[in-house]
Amino acid sequence: MAYLISDEAKDLLQDVHEFCENEVKEQCKEYDKSGEWPKEIYDKAIEMQLHSLEIPEEYGGPGLSRVDIAALIEEMARADAGFATTISASGLGTKPVLIAGNEEQKKHVCEVIVNGGFGAFALTEPGAGSDPAAGTTTAKKDGDSYVLNGRKCFITNGGIADFYCVTALTDKSKGVKGMSIFLIDAGTPGLSSGHEEDKMGIRTSNTADVVLEDVRVPAENLLGNEGDGFKIAMQTLDQARAWMGVVSTGISQRAMDESIAYCKERVQFGKPVIKFQAMQFKIADMAIKIETSRQMNAYALNLMDMGKRHSKEAAIAKCYASDKAMEIATEAVQMFGGYGYSREYPVEKLMRDAKIFQIFEGSNEIQRIVIANNTIPR
Ligand code: COS
């Protein structure tokens, strides 16, 4: 583990390591097959307060730095990326509120998470993925309320969340400047979760549609002001992207660990294949990619801790770490040979899990747009 972390985080990391080795890794392999959401694993993680790591100390969080938290999330991702994504996405649900909400809203969402609940951020729609401004969900002012209608899709924790931060157009004529964000509790009449995705990877995470049919919320559920929604969403994604870099790095680390262990056991031409320089160079390339990913993640997270803008750095961290996770997982399958292609061995799952990190929280093509926009002087 190359993150420089506090003594407090080191102790917690040991506990997380043991929990992941004994109660997550092999168990999630089975849940990956069934596609069932592993409630008992999340119950234990909640008992250990792992889902509230990012909650600020004043609202009941542990007060760790984000680099400390990264070491813990990466360890969880090493065991199962879907599990780490769910844990991290609860933090994602609180971000729009922590960025733009009032004191009461912040206390509310943090309390829900600390007490074992889940949150979700609902931005994407069937016709609005890379281009969130093309969304058609609306929020119409009606007296002291807003009435929301629309459908969100691919929402992490969409079917299990206790609260949702939902983007909606309050003024269709203004494009991105007409977008706003609302905090809506699960159970609000008209809000329901719809179709659940049967995914290729990260199958231990819940991904579902969120349907809004005449959902009436008090006007005070608006985060910030009308028209602030796009900027709040982009700031939320800036933070989320760095975390997805961290989860990707966990997948890479696991792929390298599995490859080393296998190559030490596998004998061909009379010696373990790890003795061949071809294999050693593959491992060296993996190590270069993993350590570089980790340092970029830490840089983006440090900027976040300092309250500095980190759009470019988070986009680089997410883009680089997820591209490398895909390369490393694919190389691990290659190093396992025919066994790598078998579901009996662990690496095909890593390849399936890694793919989504190049797609969600903004595809890696979108990350390159963000990086270019923040690099080329206008
Ligand atoms: N932080 C703060 N403000 C931001 C911002 C950020 N990270 N990004 C953009 N803004 C602001 C800009 O400063 C601009 O404000 P002004 O008009 O006041 O100057 C405004 O938002 C519009 O910015 P811009 O013109 O750059 O927006 P674009 O429509 O060109 O955005 C991209 C383009 C592609 C970057 C954006 O649509 C995007 O990130 N898309 C991907 C969405 C995504 O990740 N979806 C998956 C979600 S999974 S939860």
**Ligand 1 centre from 74 Cα, in Å?**
27
CATH number of the domain enclosing 62: 1.10.540.10
Q: Say whether both 224 and 198 belong to one domain.
A: yes
Last residue of a domain, one of 230, 250, 284: 230
Identify the pLDDT of residue 91.
Answer: 86
Q: Say whether both 76 and 124 belong to one domain.
A: no
pLDDT digits (tens, 9 = 90+) for 216-230: 999 999 999 999 999
Q: Say whether both 98 and 149 belong to one domain.
A: no
366 CB less than 6 Å from ligand 1?
yes
Q: Say whether both 208 and 293 belong to one domain.
A: no
Q: How confident is the model at residue 90 (pLDDT cuts 50, 70, 90)?
A: confident
**Is the separation of the CB atoms in 88 and 243 below 8 Å?**
yes
Last residue of a domain, one of 203, 230, 257: 230
Q: What are phi and psi of 5, to 5 degrees?
A: -120, 165
Look at residues 62, 100, 70, 71 and name the one whose alpha carbon lies nearest to residue 223: 100
- 45 to 49, 68, 177, 366: CA distances (angstroms): 6, 17, 39, 33
Q: Say whether both 237 and 222 belong to one domain.
A: no
Q: Say whether both 35 and 110 belong to one domain.
A: yes
- List the beta bridge partners of residue 120: 164
CATH number of the domain enclosing 221: 2.40.110.10
Q: Is residue 244 included in any domain, yes or no?
A: yes
Q: Say whether both 314 and 363 belong to one domain.
A: yes
Q: Say whether both 240 and 162 belong to one domain.
A: no
Task: Ligand 1 pocket test: pick from 130, 202, 230 the residue with the most ligand atoms within 8 Å of its Cβ.
Answer: 230
How many domains does one find in the chain?
3
Look at residues 90, 363, 98, 88 and name the one whose alpha carbon lies nearest to residue 246: 88
Q: Say whether both 244 and 196 belong to one domain.
A: no
Q: Is the pLDDT of residue 3 over 90?
A: no
Tell me the C-alpha distance between 352 and 133, whole Å.
Answer: 30
pLDDT digits (tens, 9 = 90+) for 145-198: 999 999 999 999 999 999 999 999 999 999 899 999 999 999 999 999 999 999
Tell me the C-alpha distance between 170 and 333, whole Å.
Answer: 48
Q: Is residue 215 included in any domain, yes or no?
A: yes
**Ligand 1 centre from 233 Cα, in Å?**
8
Q: Is residue 378 included in any domain, yes or no?
A: no
Q: Say whether both 225 and 239 belong to one domain.
A: no
Tell me the C-alpha distance between 185 and 189, whole Å.
Answer: 10
Hey, whose CA ends up nearest to atom 11 of ligand 1? 231
Q: Is the pLDDT of residue 376 over 70?
A: yes
**3-state class of 151 per DSSP?**
strand
Structure tokens at 152: 């969100």
Q: What are phi and psi of 295, to 5 degrees?
A: -65, -35
The whole-chain average pLDDT of the chain stands at 97
Task: Ligand 1 pocket test: pick from 157, 181, 234, 356 the residue with the most ligand atoms within 8 Å of its Cβ.
Answer: 234
Q: Say whether both 94 and 197 belong to one domain.
A: no
**Ligand 1 centre from 150 Cα, in Å?**
21
230 CB less than 6 Å from ligand 1?
yes
121 CB less than 6 Å from ligand 1?
yes
267 CB less than 6 Å from ligand 1?
no
pLDDT digits (tens, 9 = 90+) for 267-321: 999 999 999 999 999 999 999 999 999 999 999 999 999 999 999 999 999 999 9
Q: What is the span of the domain harbouring residue 332?
A: 231-373
Last residue of a domain, one of 180, 214, 230: 230
**Ligand 1 centre from 237 Cα, in Å?**
9
**Ligand 1 centre from 133 Cα, in Å?**
9
Q: Say whether both 126 and 108 belong to one domain.
A: no
238 CB less than 6 Å from ligand 1?
yes
170 CB less than 6 Å from ligand 1?
no
Hey, whose CA ends up nearest to atom 21 of ligand 1? 231
CATH number of the domain enclosing 332: 1.20.140.10
Question: Looking at residues 75-81, what average pLDDT do you find?
Answer: 98
Q: Is residue 17 included in any domain, yes or no?
A: yes
Q: Is 197 among the catalytic positions? A: no
Identify the pLDDT of residue 1.
Answer: 53
Question: Looking at residues 325-331, what average pLDDT do you find?
Answer: 98
Q: Is residue 2 included in any domain, yes or no?
A: no
Identify the pLDDT of residue 292.
Answer: 98
250 CB less than 6 Å from ligand 1?
no
